[in-house]
Amino acid sequence: MADKKITQFTQIGASEISASTDVLPIINDGGNKKITVADLLSTTSIVGETGSIALVYTGSSGNITPQSGSNRMWVEADSFSTIGGGCENTVSSIFSTIAGGICNTTSQTGAVVSGGCDSTASGVVSTVGGGRNNTASNTGATVGGGISNNASGNSSIIGGGILNTASCHCSTIGGGACNTSSARVSTISGGYKNSAVGLSNCSVIGGGSNNTVSSYSSVVGGGLCNVVSANSSVVDGGVCNVASGACTTIGGGKSNTSSGTLSTIGGGESNTSSGIFSTIGGGCSNIASGCKATIGGGSDNTASNSGATIGGGFCNTASCPFSTIGGGLSNTASLSCTTVAGGKQNTASGNASTVSGGYNNTASGPYSLVGGGNCNTASGTRSIVVGGCNNVASGACSIIGGGRNNTTSTSLSIVVGGCDNIVCSPGNYSIIVGGISNIISNCMATIGGGQENNISGRFATISGGYRNDASGNCATISGGSLNSGSSIWATIGGGYQNNALAAQSTIGGGTINTAGGVSSVIGGGRYNTGSGNCSVISGGSCNATFCNSSTISGGKCNTVSGFYSTIGGGRDNTVSGCCAIVGGGCNNVASGNHAIVGGGRNNTATGVGSVVIGGEGNCGECDCSFIAGHNIIARTTSSLHVNNLLLETGSLPTSDPGIVGMLYRSGTDIKISLG
């Protein structure tokens, strides 16, 4: 065989041979021999380099192959490399160490394999602690143990596990299976099929399965199939979550996506935060797409504009800047700074409008408010519907407290409650307290309650009742039914079908009374008519005043047609003279100015200043006549007419008093003084 240097051998087994006096077994064609290293170097045709050693045998074909089961060292004897033990281990570089194991290999300076099987440390100062089929193939790479792990990145580390790959500078895998860390300074603590790839420098995967980080300083804490694809983003855990925006965070849950810069999802399922600084706390299928939008939880909620907030609930939409929905179902806040606190199918569509709760309510006016209830609408600027059902406040600053089907369509109008009440144009500043189907159509009017009352006059008031109508300005109806105050300052206290037709006219109550004179008054009764200005009918039935300042105190079918005249009572009495009086009785007539009928029946005072005290059938035809009796006709003026005259003579003077016309008694005679 030709001379051959040891360094030219194709294979050399390394062992603990360290001196030229060590004995080497030589196997040649099946025969065994022993020879020292010194003899090997001096007697064979193999020329060794200084300090080089080999354990060899010569096969039948003349080729040099290693002894089966031996350790092999292809290094200089003074290279400080070591094989501690084991079987079929190979060291081919200086300062390298194999502590033990089987079929391990170190091929670069300072490489170490502590033990295990079929592992390779092929990087400078690389290390394999143990395990099987592990590879540390770059400078400073380390595999602690496990199976089929590959640390190919500079200073990369794999702690253990199986089929893990750390292929970039300072990448780390703690353990697990089939994990890949291919980005600089990336870390995978464990789990299965996790990947730190691409530009995911300084990223971390804590564990779990099939998680991926592909961006700088990103973190996946654990879970399944989570993806972080933007810088400084975090997925703490869960399943199939994606953090694709810079500095985003997903706490956990399933199928969540955080794609807006600095957006956050706490958990839940199928949530998407795509707006900058957007936040979703949890829930299902929620979308926060506006800048700084927030959804606390719930399902199928959407916050799609800057600062929009949804606390929770189902199918809610906050679509404008700083709009807010607290919760509930299918609520919508669709203009800037709108709020829906809760409820179902509520809409706040006016600027800074609010719906506190309820069902199918709408606040569409700027700064409007619906407190709750059902199907209410506040469409006027700063309008309010506190509650109830089907109420509409369309006037600016109008208010509906509650009830059903109430409407305020003019500014600063109010309906406190009730049903089917309406304040319409021009009913500014008007109020309906309650009742049913009441209507105000002029400003500063008031209806307290009742049913089907109507006000068309300014400053008018109906306190209550049924079908009352105040069409006069400042008219007042306190109650009753079918009463009408149609002139300014008209007043009706109550009753039925009373009509105050003239300015400042008053009806206290009763039935079918009519005050047609200015400042006329009817206290009550029925079928009374006050047509004269400042006339008064206190009560009774079918009484009538036709001239100014006339009075009927009561009775029935009495008539005053003279100025300043009076009927005290009775029946079918008539006063037609100015300043005339009928005190009472029946069928009496005072037709003379200043005439008086005190009472009785069928008496007539037709003369000026005539007086009929009472009785029956008397007729004061002469001026200033005085009748006391019955069936007397005054024959002359300024005279006393009586049927009989009875004098108490005992009280008469007994001598002439010296007063013209005065009676006095002289003995048994009655005389008249001549003065």
Q: Mind spelling out the 3-state secondary structure of 374-406? A: ECCEECCCCCEECCCECCEECCCCCEECCCECC
Give the Cα separation of 369 and 381 in Å (integer): 9
CA 455 to chain centroid, in Å, comes to 36
At 451-466, the pLDDT tens digits run 999 999 999 999 999 9
Mean pLDDT of 359-371: 96
Name the nearest CA neighbour of 181 among 171, 189, 190, 191. Answer: 171
Give the Cα separation of 394 and 428 in Å (integer): 12
Name the nearest CA neighbour of 243 among 278, 208, 209. Answer: 278
Domain 551-644 fold is Alkaline Protease, subunit P, domain 1 (2.150.10)
Give the Cα separation of 533 and 551 in Å (integer): 11
CA 584 to chain centroid, in Å, comes to 73
Q: What is the pLDDT of residue 52?
A: 34
- 3-class SS letters over 116-172: CECCEECCCCCEECCCECCEECCCCCEECCCECCEECCCCCEECCCECCEECCCCCE
| C-alpha pair distances (Å), 234 with each of 193, 204, 251, 262 | 18, 9, 8, 10
At 306-357, the pLDDT tens digits run 999 999 999 999 999 999 999 999 999 999 999 999 999 999 999 999 999 9
Least confident of 5-9, 387-391, 500-504, 513-517: 5-9
Give the Cα separation of 99 and 119 in Å (integer): 12
Give the Cα separation of 544 and 55 in Å (integer): 151
658 Rama class: left (phi>0) / alpha (psi -120 to 50) / beta: left
| C-alpha pair distances (Å), 31 with each of 1, 69, 182, 408 | 18, 17, 53, 120
Residue 50: partners with Cβ closer than 8 Å, 6 or more residues away: none
For 285-382, list the strands marked E by DSSP: 287-288, 294-295, 302-303, 309-310, 317-318, 324-325, 332-333, 339-340, 347-348, 354-355, 362-363, 369-370, 377-378
Q: What is the pLDDT of residue 427?
A: 87
Give the Cα separation of 118 and 97 in Å (integer): 15
At 45-65, the pLDDT tens digits run 333 333 333 333 333 333 333
| C-alpha pair distances (Å), 545 with each of 146, 440, 528, 576 | 121, 33, 9, 10
| pLDDT category of residue 645 using cuts at 50, 70 and 90 | confident
Tokens of 276: 């900058």
Tokens of 149: 């792990």
At 551-592, the pLDDT tens digits run 999 999 999 999 999 999 999 999 999 999 999 999 999 999
Q: What is the pLDDT of residue 669?
A: 84
Give the Cα separation of 626 and 605 in Å (integer): 9
**Residue 204 phi, psi dihedral angles, 5° rounding:** -140, 135
The more confidently predicted of residues 285 and 23 is: 285
Give the Cα separation of 15 and 27 in Å (integer): 16
Instruction: Tell whether pTM > 0.85.
Output: no
| C-alpha pair distances (Å), 486 with each of 354, 395, 512 | 41, 27, 15
**How far does the chain reach from its first CA to its final CA, in angstroms?**
202
On whether the CB atoms of residues 235 and 228 are closer than 8 A, the answer is yes
The more confidently predicted of residues 555 and 38 is: 555
| pLDDT category of residue 647 using cuts at 50, 70 and 90 | confident
Q: Where are the domains of the chain?
A: 4-73, 551-644, 648-675
